[in-house]
Amino acid sequence: MTLEFPASRWPAVLEERGPSEDPSILLTGMAQVGGKELRIVAVRVNPALRSAPDYKRDVGQEAYLANGYSIALEVALEEFECIGLRLIDLLGEDRSSLIELATGRYAILIMPACDHV
């Protein structure tokens, strides 16, 4: 059985929201599905460690710690990976869900819209 997907609108661009020393580590944009606003969150991931943020080597760790970026990004990716593995087990599929963008590989999360991100 299939179900019709509601009308949707996806962003044409994503906005850089990371620290000033590495703004592209975190990207966001707004989407709409069935008249409901959703936030797209993209976290640049380390190619060798899929569930770890891709911190720039030339940026000091204090840049990521200053506003809580490192903790938030690491926790989000760990939870995303855990949920992904459970769904892989359930669905029997194992395909990469990382998206290649101009600034690296990103894990894409879709969440309810809020003013906090």
Is the pLDDT at 94 greater than 70, yes or no?
A: no
Counting beta carbons within 10 angstroms of the beta carbon of residue 107, is it exposed (0 to 12), middle (13 to 18) or buried (19 or more)? buried
Q: Is 8 helix (H, G, I), strand (E, B) or coil?
A: strand
Q: What is the pLDDT of residue 115?
A: 60
Q: What is the pLDDT of residue 89?
A: 74
Domain boundaries defined on the chain: 8-112
Q: What is the pLDDT of residue 69?
A: 83
Is the pLDDT at 22 greater than 90, yes or no?
A: yes
* Residues 81, 61: Cα–Cα separation, whole Å: 23
* Residues 10, 8: Cα–Cα separation, whole Å: 7
Q: What is the pLDDT of residue 116?
A: 53
Please compute the mean of the pLDDT values over residues 96-115 and round it to a whole number: 85
Q: Does an H or E element contain 76, and which?
A: helix 69-91
